[in-house]
Amino acid sequence: MFRVKNNEFVIPGQLVGTDIRHDSNCFREGGNVYSSVQGLARIEDNTLKIIPSSGGYTPKEGDVVIGVVKDVLHGKWLVDIDASYPATMDGEEVTRNPQRVDLRDYFRVGDILSAKIFSVDEIHASKLGRPSKLEGGYIININPKRVPRVIGKNKSMVNMLREKTNSRIVVGQNGRVWINSANTAFVVSVVRKIEREAQTSGLTDRIEKLLNNA
Amino acid sequence: MKMKNPEIELIKNGKRLDGRNLDELREIKMEVGVLKKAAGSAYVEWGKNKVLAAVYGPRSLYPAFLKDPTKAMLRCIYNLAPFSVDDRKKPGPDRRSVEISKVSTEALESVVMTERYPNSVIDVYTEILQADAGTRCTALTAASLALANAGIPMKDLVAACSAGKVSGEVVLDPMKEEDNYGDADLPLAIIPRRNEVVLLQLDGRLTREEFDRAYQLAFDGALKVYEMQKKTLQDAMKKSAVVGD
DSSP letter string over A1-46?
-B-S-TTEEE-TT-EEEES-EE-TTEEEETTEEEESS-EEEEEETT
**What value of ipTM does the predicted structure carry?**
0.90
- The Cα–Cα gap between B76 and B126 comes to 7
Fold of the A64-134 domain: OB fold (Dihydrolipoamide Acetyltransferase, E2P) (2.40.50)
* pLDDT (0 to 100) of residue A213: 86
From B39, which residue of chain A is nearest by alpha-carbon distance?
A55
B32 neighbourhood in chain A, CB within 8 Å: none
From B151, which residue of chain A is nearest by alpha-carbon distance?
A55
* pLDDT (0 to 100) of residue B140: 97
Cβ distance of B237 and A9 shorter than 8 Å: yes
* pLDDT (0 to 100) of residue B7: 66
* pLDDT (0 to 100) of residue A138: 95
Cβ distance of A206 and B57 shorter than 8 Å: no
From B156, which residue of chain A is nearest by alpha-carbon distance?
A13
A56 neighbourhood in chain B, CB within 8 Å: 39, 57-58, 151
* pLDDT (0 to 100) of residue B9: 82
Q: Which residues of chain B have a pLDDT value below 70?
A: 1-7, 242-245
Domain with CATH 3.30.1370.10 in chain A: 138-213
The pLDDT mean for chain A works out to: 93
A12 neighbourhood in chain B, CB within 8 Å: 111, 148, 153-157
- The Cα–Cα gap between A101 and A93 comes to 13
**Of the candidates A9, A37, A197, which has its C-beta nearest B243's C-beta?**
A197
Question: Within 13 Å, how many C-alpha atoms sit on residue A56's CB side?
Answer: 24
- The Cα–Cα gap between B169 and B12 comes to 11
**CATH architecture classification, A138-213:** 2-Layer Sandwich (3.30)
Domain with CATH 2.40.50.100 in chain A: 8-52
Type of residue found at B13: N
The total of other beta-carbon atoms located within 10 Å of residue A65's CB is 27
Least Cα separation, residue A19 to chain B (angstroms): 18
- When scoring A24, A29, A54, A204 by the number of chain B Cβ atoms within 10 A, the one with the most, hence best to mutate, is A54
Secondary-structure class of domain A8-52 per CATH? mainly beta
Boundaries of every domain in chain B: 21-237
A201 to chain B, any CB pair closer than 8 A? The answer is: no
Stated pTM of the model: 0.92
Fold of the B21-237 domain: Ribosomal Protein S5; domain 2 (3.30.230)
Strands B184-191 and B40-46: unpaired
C-beta separation of B222 from B141 below 8 A: no
C-beta separation of A177 from A146 below 8 A: no
- The Cα–Cα gap between A57 and A147 comes to 11
Domain with CATH 2.40.50.140 in chain A: 64-134
Going from the C-alpha of B87 to that of each of A199, B21, B101, B131, B177, the distances in angstroms are 48, 29, 22, 11, 15
Dihedral angle over CA of B139, B142, B146, B148, nearest 10: 120
B193 neighbourhood in chain A, CB within 8 Å: 13, 34
Task: Provide the b/e sequence for A27-61 (b: ≥16 CB within 10 Å).
Answer: beeeeebbbbbbbbbebeeeebbbbbbbbbbbbee
